[in-house]
């Protein structure tokens, strides 16, 4: 057969080697060689070559062998395009045969020579000839063990162990090439993001023998801690050894740096240690990366076999990128682009305070870091309902399935009886940044009576508060003391740079002073959505709220609102103070009133007692408020039109808080947003009343202030009529949650039931509540934005639905010329970095 490809290239500083054709390892070795590191002679085989080898077309083996010293032993290692895609294991000592064994005995002694030969026979038998590994387990450096390995091979294969180095090399190359093309290997690398046709290169390298009379051995060294990213020399060196596997066991292990636990390379071979530090610094500066270097000491001489990017935690990745930029090794833009936005979530989690008291009731696998407290729910539907009420919940399931995704989105943490690190719950929770504990097998979950029996016999019910510590794999009864996320200097530096380059604003959806504090700590450009109804679920306030709903006369209602006013004023004053001069957008009351009413008989009785009304009256009133389709019912501005006193009270609270907060800090210009608008007249009516309140407050207090009134675009009609709606608004903020719900006619709260089937059968590419549907909902956004801006060119445009934190959706908004996105506080850093990536 004719060989049509460029067989191989000796890696020299000027050879034509590329990542795309020869893989990352080959290219990296060339860089090391250019830096004049002592790399043994190496030959690279291209993806093409390896592909053909798998198909049975061999390269010119004698020519490859001729590239090395006569009689050299060789290693072959994989070189895929991306280090993370993996590849077949390295095979060492190719070329070993009886004659070479005899010569090695003279050169380095009998025991090392036996060991090298035995290891090669074993590796060849297992990895190339695919013989049963159990038959090739023996270790030892005596002639007998070597003979036994050769005999086992020869018995099984019914032929002598191959002596010809060219044949050995050919078989090694073929087995590695075929291993790469196998189905399992392909699926594994595709799971890590490799394309279906990802190629494999191979590098053939002359061995530096780590065995022999003078100091010989092998090791790895790196210069940072892989968890924190802080500078620290770590690694191991094993005297009289070859290859990485040897480092995990055996005697003769040295620490690298001087260490009280045992001998160190620093003391044992100070010159070599110093040389390694030098190469570490050179590779950091010139390869612009933290590298882990694999080395061999052969007869007292250092050889560098390979170097790979140190695998690292997200936290470490941030620190390394920032420190390289601070040392002017890479530009800041590159530091930014090296960090995947979603990776930041790992840095942002609350943790259980290890010094605090905690009542652990079950332990399992720590599947996703961080900790959260909430009420137990046993179904995704209950989790969604809980989230809609603004209550944190913990989703407890036997295991999760794709149908649970919506529930997981809604939950603060997840606990499952079954599963492991890669179970559905674990994978999804990590993706969402949700604390998660899985595999808590001694739980008894009783679906029917919604209870959870734990090992010590206690029984928890739906609604009981528990805490999930996903960092330590613990489930804890009740609330515990939490530590806020550790946002260190490197993280802050990175986000500061992101803010500088970012050309679309990132605000936070924050309803409470606590949320606002988080938003400010995470560097939000203000609050884009304060859902005021979330301020009323507090126990004390709920009663006043209910009094207001049940008021029989206008006077009674006014009296209840009079009580709510100071509470709201206080809320808003604190929000303004915390955000110190940054914009705060307050949405007027949105959900249906009946959400504030009890649904159980017991709750109704309690309410009757509190309001001093007959139970039958209360029941009748609650029934009268019930709606068949509350999400399309008496919500948002419809409430503002029919019970205008509520919005008036809120507007007054906002204006009085504005004056209050402006006394001590920067002048506040509040933004007031009207929800669920579908007609221009709604805006006119609300605007007239709010202007009236503003005028009254100005006169009463003798103080002037500004405010901006805007509209939340979350019905399709509001998007279509944005032109006329814009005449009365200073800004338009697209509520893509409701807009998605109404565009698809898809219930936000019920879609979970069939979303899995829909996504699986590719009806929708993704859950449109998670990633913005750019084709449909996106078109409404574009129409609304265009009509709004045409009517009022300085119109501020934003998105404040859940999509505001999604990197793909941010790209769409930026493209469409939006001024900012607003998302939950914890997603602000991710959104900020994603936005910065877009601007780079």
Candidates 116-124, 210-218, 515-523, 730-738; binding stretch for ligand PEP (CB under 6 A): 730-738
Of residues 78, 276, 299, 32, the one with CA closest to residue 172: 78
Candidates 29-37, 221-229, 289-297, 733-741; binding stretch for ligand PEP (CB under 6 A): 733-741
Of residues 735, 711, 746, 740, the one with CA closest to residue 821: 735
The CB density around residue 580, as the number of other CB atoms within 10 Å, is 12
The reply on whether position 737 binds ligand PEP by CB under 6 A is yes
The H or E element that residue 332 is part of is helix 332-338
The reply on whether position 714 binds Mg ion by CB under 5 A is yes
Decide whether 752 or 801 has the Cβ nearer to ligand PEP: 801
Query: Are 698 and 705 in contact, with CB atoms under 8 Å apart?
Result: yes
Q: Which does 801 bind (CB under 5 to 8 A by kind): Mg ion, ligand PEP, none?
A: ligand PEP
Q: Angle 828-839/489-501 helices, nearest 10 degrees?
A: 50
Binding pattern for the stretch 247-276 against ligand PEP, x by CB under 6 A and - elsewhere? ------------------------------
User: Hey, what are 288's tokens?
Assistant: 């612009």
User: Hey, what are 464's tokens?
Assistant: 């009981």
Candidates 483-491, 550-558, 734-742, 780-788; binding stretch for ligand PEP (CB under 6 A): 734-742
The reply on whether position 534 binds ligand PEP by CB under 6 A is no
- Nearest-angstrom CA–CA distance, 45 and 354: 52
Q: Which does 228 bind (CB under 5 to 8 A by kind): Mg ion, ligand PEP, none?
A: none
Q: What residues numbered 574-593 form the site for ligand PEP, per CB under 6 A?
A: 590
Q: Residue positions in the annotated binding site for substrate?
A: 531, 587, 714, 735-738
Least distance (Å) from ligand PEP to the CB of residue 736?
5
The reply on whether position 736 binds ligand PEP by CB under 6 A is yes
- Could you confirm whether 585 is annotated as catalytic? no
Least distance (Å) from Mg ion to the CB of residue 737?
5
Decide whether 370 or 752 has the Cβ nearer to ligand PEP: 752
Q: Which does 767 bind (CB under 5 to 8 A by kind): ligand PEP, Mg ion, none?
A: none
Q: Which does 358 bind (CB under 5 to 8 A by kind): Mg ion, ligand PEP, none?
A: none
Positive or negative, the CA dihedral 188, 192, 198, 201 is: negative
Q: Which does 768 bind (CB under 5 to 8 A by kind): ligand PEP, Mg ion, none?
A: none
Decide whether 219 or 675 has the Cβ nearer to Mg ion: 675
Decide whether 93 or 733 has the Cβ nearer to ligand PEP: 733
Binding pattern for the stretch 768-807 against ligand PEP, x by CB under 6 A and - elsewhere? --------------------------------xx------
Question: Distance of alpha carbon 401 from its chain centroid, rounded?
Answer: 20
Decide whether 19 or 783 has the Cβ nearer to ligand PEP: 783
The reply on whether position 512 binds ligand PEP by CB under 6 A is no
- Nearest-angstrom CA–CA distance, 516 and 495: 18
Least distance (Å) from ligand PEP to the CB of residue 751?
14
Q: Residue positions in the annotated binding site?
A: 531, 587, 714, 735-738
Please give the size of the binding site for ligand PEP, defined by CB under 6 A. 10
Angle, CA of 654, 655 and 657, to the nearest 5°: 65
Q: Tell me how far CA of residue 51 lies from CA of 4, 47, 198, 670, in angstroms.
A: 12, 6, 10, 65
Decide whether 231 or 390 has the Cβ nearer to ligand PEP: 390
Of residues 362, 359, 380, 375, the one with CA closest to residue 444: 362
Least distance (Å) from ligand PEP to the CB of residue 677?
12
The reply on whether position 294 binds Mg ion by CB under 5 A is no
Q: What residues numbered 590-629 form the site for ligand PEP, per CB under 6 A?
A: 590
Angle, CA of 197, 201 and 205, to the nearest 5°: 165
In sequence order, the β-bridge partners of residue 372 are 468
The reply on whether position 531 binds ligand PEP by CB under 6 A is yes
Q: What is the 3-state secondary structure (H, E, C) of 625-668?
A: HCCCCHHHCCCHHHHHHHCHHHHHHHHHHHHHHHHHHHHHCCCC
The reply on whether position 529 binds ligand PEP by CB under 6 A is yes
Beta pairing, strands 671-674 & 731-734: unpaired
Q: Residue positions in the annotated binding site for Mg(2+)?
A: 714, 738
Q: What is the 3-state secondary structure (H, E, C) of 225-290?
A: CCCCCCEEEEEEEEECCCCCHHHHCCCCEEECCCECCECEHHHHCHHHHHHHHHHHHHHHHHCCCC
- Nearest-angstrom CA–CA distance, 412 and 392: 6
Q: Which does 524 bind (CB under 5 to 8 A by kind): ligand PEP, Mg ion, none?
A: none
Indicate the burial class of 444 (C-beta count within 10 angstroms; 0-12, 13-18, 19 or more): exposed
The reply on whether position 384 binds ligand PEP by CB under 6 A is no
Decide whether 201 or 735 has the Cβ nearer to Mg ion: 735
Query: Are 560 and 648 in contact, with CB atoms under 8 Å apart?
Result: no
DSSP 678-743: -SHHHHHHHHHHHHHHHHHHHHHHT-----EEEEEE-SHHHHHTHHHHGGG-SEEEE-HHHHHHHH
DSSP 336-358: HHHS-GGGGGGGS--EE-TTS--
Q: Tell me how far CA of residue 262 lies from CA of 231, 251, 272, in angstroms.
A: 21, 12, 18
Q: Which does 531 bind (CB under 5 to 8 A by kind): Mg ion, ligand PEP, none?
A: ligand PEP
- Nearest-angstrom CA–CA distance, 427 and 405: 11
- Nearest-angstrom CA–CA distance, 466 and 657: 36
Least distance (Å) from ligand PEP to the CB of residue 739?
6
Candidates 103-111, 371-379, 708-716, 753-761; binding stretch for Mg ion (CB under 5 A): 708-716
- Residue selected from 469, 714, 767, 773 as contacting ligand PEP according to rule CB under 6 A: 714
Decide whether 410 or 654 has the Cβ nearer to ligand PEP: 410
Q: What residues numbered 727-756 form the site for Mg ion, per CB under 5 A?
A: 735, 738
Decide whether 33 or 530 has the Cβ nearer to ligand PEP: 530
Least distance (Å) from ligand PEP to the CB of residue 698?
30
User: Hey, what are 479's tokens?
Assistant: 């609330």
- Measured distance between the N- and C-terminal CA atoms of the chain, rounded to whole angstroms: 50
Q: What residues numbered 100-139 form the site for ligand PEP, per CB under 6 A?
A: none
Which residue's Cβ lies closest to Mg ion? 738
- Could you confirm whether 424 is annotated as catalytic? yes
User: Hey, what are 131's tokens?
Assistant: 């013989």
Least distance (Å) from ligand PEP to the CB of residue 572?
18
Q: Which does 472 bind (CB under 5 to 8 A by kind): ligand PEP, Mg ion, none?
A: none
Q: Which does 529 bind (CB under 5 to 8 A by kind): Mg ion, ligand PEP, none?
A: ligand PEP
Which residue's Cβ lies closest to ligand PEP? 735
The reply on whether position 738 binds ligand PEP by CB under 6 A is yes
Least distance (Å) from ligand PEP to the CB of residue 620?
29
Tell me which of 393, 800, 813, 823 is the catalytic residue. 800
User: Hey, what are 148's tokens?
Assistant: 């036994």
The reply on whether position 825 binds ligand PEP by CB under 6 A is no
Decide whether 272 or 780 has the Cβ nearer to Mg ion: 780
Candidates 126-134, 212-220, 474-482, 735-743; binding stretch for ligand PEP (CB under 6 A): 735-743
- Nearest-angstrom CA–CA distance, 582 and 201: 54
Tell me which of 424, 728, 770, 837 is the catalytic residue. 424
The reply on whether position 735 binds ligand PEP by CB under 6 A is yes
- Which residues bind to Mg ion, rule: CB under 5 A? 714, 735, 738
Q: Which residues are catalytic, by number?
A: 424, 800
- Which residues bind to ligand PEP, rule: CB under 6 A? 529, 531, 590, 714, 735-738, 800-801
């Amino acid at each position: 057969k004719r060989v049509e490809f460029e067989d191989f290239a000796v890696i020299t500083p000027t050879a034509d080697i590329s990542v795309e054709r020869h893989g990352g390892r080959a290219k990296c070795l060339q860089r090391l060689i250019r830096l004049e590191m002592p790399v043994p002679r190496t030959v690279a085989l291209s993806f093409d070559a390896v592909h053909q080898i798998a198909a049975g077309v061999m390269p010119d083996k004698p020519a490859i062998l001729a590239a090395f010293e006569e009689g050299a032993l060789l290693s072959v290692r994989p070189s895929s395009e991306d280090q993370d895609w993996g590849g077949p294991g390295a095979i060492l000592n190719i070329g070993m045969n009886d004659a070479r064994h005899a010569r090695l005995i003279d050169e380095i002694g009998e025991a090392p020579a036996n060991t090298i030969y035995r290891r090669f026979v074993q590796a060849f038998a297992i990895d190339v000839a695919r013989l049963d590994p159990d038959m090739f387990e023996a270790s030892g450096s005596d002639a007998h063990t070597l003979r036994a390995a050769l005999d086992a091979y020869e018995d099984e294969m019914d032929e002598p162990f191959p002596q010809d180095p060219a044949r050995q090399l050919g078989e090694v190359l073929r087995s590695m090439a075929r291993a790469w093309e196998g189905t399992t290997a392909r699926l594994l690398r595709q799971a890590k993001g490799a394309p279906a046709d990802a190629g494999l290169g191979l590098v053939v390298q002359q061995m530096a023998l780590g065995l022999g009379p003078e100091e010989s051995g092998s090791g790895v060294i790196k210069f940072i801690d892989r968890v924190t990213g802080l500078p620290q020399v770590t690694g191991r060196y094993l005297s009289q050894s070859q290859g990485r596997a040897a480092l995990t066991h055996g005697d003769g292990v040295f620490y690298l740096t001087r260490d009280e636990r045992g001998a160190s390379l620093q003391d044992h071979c100070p010159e070599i240690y110093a040389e390694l530090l030098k190469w570490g610094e050179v590779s950091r500066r010139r390869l612009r990366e933290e590298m882990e270097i694999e080395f061999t000491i052969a007869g007292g001489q250092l050889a560098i076999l390979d170097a790979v990017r140190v695998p690292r935690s997200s936290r470490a990745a941030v620190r390394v990128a920032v420190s390289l930029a601070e040392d002017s090794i890479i530009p800041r833009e590159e530091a930014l682009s090296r960090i995947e936005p979603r990776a930041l979530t790992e840095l942002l989690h609350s943790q259980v305070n290890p010094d605090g008291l905690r009542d652990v009731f079950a332990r399992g696998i720590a599947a996703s870091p961080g900790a959260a407290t909430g009420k137990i729910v046993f179904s995704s539907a209950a989790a969604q309902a809980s989230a809609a009420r603004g209550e944190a919940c913990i989703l407890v399931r036997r295991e999760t399935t794709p149908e649970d995704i919506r529930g997981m989105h809604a939950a603060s943490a997840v606990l499952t009886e079954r599963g492991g690190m890669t179970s559905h719950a674990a994978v999804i929770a990590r993706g969402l940044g949700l604390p998660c504990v899985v595999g808590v097998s001694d739980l008894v979950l009783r679906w029917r009576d919604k209870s959870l029996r734990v090992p010590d016999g206690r029984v928890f019910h739906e609604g009981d508060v528990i805490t999930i510590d996903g960092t330590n794999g613990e489930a804890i009864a009740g609330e515990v003391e939490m530590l806020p996320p550790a946002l260190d200097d490197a993280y802050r530096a990175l986000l500061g740079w992101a803010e500088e380059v970012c050309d679309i604003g990132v605000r936070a959806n924050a309803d409470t002073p606590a949320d606002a504090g988080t938003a400010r700590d995470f560097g939000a450009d203000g609050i884009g959505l304060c859902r005021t109804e979330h301020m009323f679920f507090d126990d004390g306030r709920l009663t006043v709220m209910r009094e207001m709903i049940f008021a029989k006369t206008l006077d009674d209602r006014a009296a209840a609102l009079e009580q709510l006013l100071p509470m709201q004023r206080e809320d808003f004053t604190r929000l303004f103070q915390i955000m110190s001069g940054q914009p705060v957008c307050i949405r007027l009351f949105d959900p249906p009133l009946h959400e504030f009413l009890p649904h159980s008989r017991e709750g109704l009785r309690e309410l009757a007692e509190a309001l001093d009304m007959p139970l039958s009256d209360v029941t009748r009133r609650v029934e009268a408020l019930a709606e068949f389709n509350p999400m399309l019912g008496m919500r948002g501005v419809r409430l503002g039109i029919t019970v205008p006193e509520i919005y008036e009270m809120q507007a007054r609270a906002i204006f009085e808080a504005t004056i209050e907060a402006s006394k001590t800090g920067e002048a506040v210009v509040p933004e007031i947003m009207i929800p669920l608008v579908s007609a221009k007249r709604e805006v006119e009516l609300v605007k007239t009343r709010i202007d009236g309140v503003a005028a009254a407050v100005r006169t009463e207090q003798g103080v002037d202030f500004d405010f901006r009134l805007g509209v939340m675009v979350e019905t399709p009609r509001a998007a279509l009529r944005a032109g006329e709606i814009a005449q009365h608004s200073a800004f338009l903020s697209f509520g893509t949650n409701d807009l998605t719900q109404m565009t698809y006619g898809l219930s936000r709260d019920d879609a979970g039931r069939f979303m899995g089937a829909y996504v699986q059968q590719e009806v929708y590419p993704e859950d449109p509540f998670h990633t913005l549907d750019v084709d449909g909902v996106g078109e409404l956004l574009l129409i609304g934005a265009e009509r709004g801006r045409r009517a009022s060119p300085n119109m501020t445009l934003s998105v404040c639905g859940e999509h505001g934190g999604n990197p793909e959706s941010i790209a769409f908004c930026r493209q469409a010329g939006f001024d900012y996105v607003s998302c939950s506080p914890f997603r602000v850093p991710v959104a900020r970095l994603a936005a910065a990536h877009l601007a780079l």
